[in-house]
Structure 1
Amino acid sequence: MVAPKPQDPRSSADPELIAAKVNEILSKTAENLSEEAAFLEEAHRILNEALA
């Protein structure tokens, strides 16, 4: 198991900004499955960075 990393609480991400970024990505219309997968991967990356 990986120990949690201590973080500076002053540098925490703004939940509203994260939600706005994710909503912007997920509101895009995908032309095909690979494009949809790319959108989902980008949203996942944003959430992963916010939780790291």
Structure 2
Amino acid sequence: MVVAFVPEKIRGSAFGLFATVQAVENIAATVVAGLRRRTARKTITTLCSWLIAVHG
């Protein structure tokens, strides 16, 4: 995806920015899942996580 839309000259920076955004999203998702697991039933959280993983 990054390769198709970014000029070759700045492609390295674009990959770095893309990876940073993904890392922030992963941290946010982990925090949300942790809070949800604390407040909701564990089976509901596990089911929701499974559904998100399957449907992406």
Greater Rg by CA: 2
Higher RCO structure (Cα 8 Å, ≥6 apart): 1
Is TM > 0.5 for Structure 1 vs Structure 2? no
- TM-score when normalising by structure 1: 0.42
